[in-house]
Amino acid sequence: MAGRNHLSIPGPTNVPHEILSAMHVPMEDHRSPDFPKLFKPVLEELKKVFRTETGQAFVFPATGTAGWEIALTNTLNSGDKVIIYRFGQFGHLWMSMAKRLGFDVEVHEVEWGKGIPVDHLEARLKEDSNHEIKAVLATHNETATGVTSDIAGVRAAMDASSHPALLFVDGVSSIASLEFKMDDWGVDASISGSQKGFMLPAGAAILAFSQKALAMTKTSTYPRCFLDLGDQMAQNANGYTPYTPSTPMIHGLKKSLELLLGEGMENVYARHHRLGEGCRLAIAAWGLKLCAHEGFESDTVSAVVVPEDKDASEVIATAYNKYNISLGAGLTELAGKVFRIGHIGDMNDVSMLGAIAGVEMALLDCGYDIQAGSGVGAAIEYYRSTAG
- pTM of the predicted model, to two decimals? 0.97
pLDDT, tens digit (0-9, with 9 covering 90-100), for 258-277: 999 999 999 999 999 999 99
- As a whole number, mean pLDDT of residues 19-44 equals 97
What superfamily in CATH does domain 6-12+265-386 come from?
Aspartate Aminotransferase, domain 1 (3.90.1150.10)
- Phi and psi for 44 in degrees, rounded to 5? -70, -40
- Phi and psi for 6 in degrees, rounded to 5? -90, 110
pLDDT, tens digit (0-9, with 9 covering 90-100), for 302-344: 999 999 999 999 999 999 999 999 999 999 999 999 999 999 9
CA pair distance 339, 89, nearest whole angstrom: 14
pLDDT for the residue 2 = 79
Q: Looking at the domain covering 17-262, what would its CATH class be?
A: alpha beta
The domain spans of the chain are: 6-12+265-386, 17-262
CA pair distance 251, 20, nearest whole angstrom: 10
For the chain, give the percent of residues with pLDDT over 90: 99
50 CB neighbour count, 10 Å cutoff:
25
Helices 265-285 and 247-263: crossing angle in degrees, nearest 10, is 80
CA pair distance 311, 366, nearest whole angstrom: 9
Whether the predicted pLDDT of 383 surpasses 90: yes
With 0-12 / 13-18 / 19 or more C-beta atoms within 10 angstroms meaning exposed / middle / buried, residue 380 is middle
CA pair distance 1, 9, nearest whole angstrom: 20
pLDDT, tens digit (0-9, with 9 covering 90-100), for 121-137: 999 999 999 999 999 99
Biggest distance spanned by C-alpha atoms of the chain? 64
- As a whole number, mean pLDDT of residues 51-63 equals 97
With 0-12 / 13-18 / 19 or more C-beta atoms within 10 angstroms meaning exposed / middle / buried, residue 354 is middle
pLDDT for the residue 388 = 79
Whether the predicted pLDDT of 101 surpasses 80: yes
Report residue 1's pLDDT band, with 50, 70 and 90 as the boundaries: low
Report residue 3's pLDDT band, with 50, 70 and 90 as the boundaries: confident
